[in-house]
Structure 1
């Protein structure tokens, strides 16, 4: 329901040249940047074939496109884990810290002024908290979805996520329709001593896990 992505190696190779030591010291993203730079082969500065770093181009840095999108930054695993834990703990100070780290990296990867405005100040804090709650809803829904649990309480817990509610209910309807059809096929086969619905559920769950559909849904 809510896609999750992480920084990839290509993006790191492009970004690490632009990250200043001060930013690295204050950001939990530093482990990613430092890990990449440590793996880069050392180049001979006298080698005429060595290409100049991206930021030494004659093109002004301000005119270069962003290295990553806001969605890519928001959906990195460490950021998601951090903001979700902050919301679960009702820890506004921790959430602000994550906001500052996000802003620091966002500036380094040259996000647009519009995107920076979305994650800045009090309104930006509300936006980040909302993103965390969307992910918390998603995580809880996946567990209940796979265990055939009622999600009424979950919907009441996050009443303002109406778009996600509709998506969740659609997935539930599709799941239940598939199980009903499977149960009908089992019944038509004339198997004895079998709870057709329970067997259909077991087969559906096994399919979701073994086919990779569950992982797709999580991501």
Structure 2
């Protein structure tokens, strides 16, 4: 069993290997530090054993309920105002966060679990949030005629400025991000097609554009 060690450091002679990750993990500076966690001064600080047991039970219940770690992180943000990444939830379940951050995250996850348990079998806000989290951004399909315009512009300027991209997007009725990504992918494709030290890019484009105008990623 683990001993509580979150408040006082172990003796210098203690072996780091004998400590649980919760106790030997240095304080995190990115996962929970930017979140405004609740004040738990009125709650008893859990022991390492209690945290370990809760993390184990939480993971089992989450899986049984059919939610992913990403679903949980998204739900926490929507329901309670604290958005957490899938990595943070994963590290909590694996007891790889600092003791302090484990204590901060435990009550939020406990509330989520209670909400999920109480609403099993009926459509809930958690189910809707999870469904939204599972939706993946659809790949944009660009028409052949539009690709032709993009290719022509690419021959003149392989790396257009933000203003040019915005103007081009408006004229083609595409989202600015779609155009930006297309040019980025097109440049990467050209790099793969051009042997190091060979012709200048503009010289190569004139030979390749007629035979291959597709973009792998769009």
Shorter-chain TM-score tier: under 0.3
Q: TM-score, normalized by length of structure 1?
A: 0.24
Q: TM-score, normalized by length of structure 2?
A: 0.24
Which structure is higher in helix share? 1
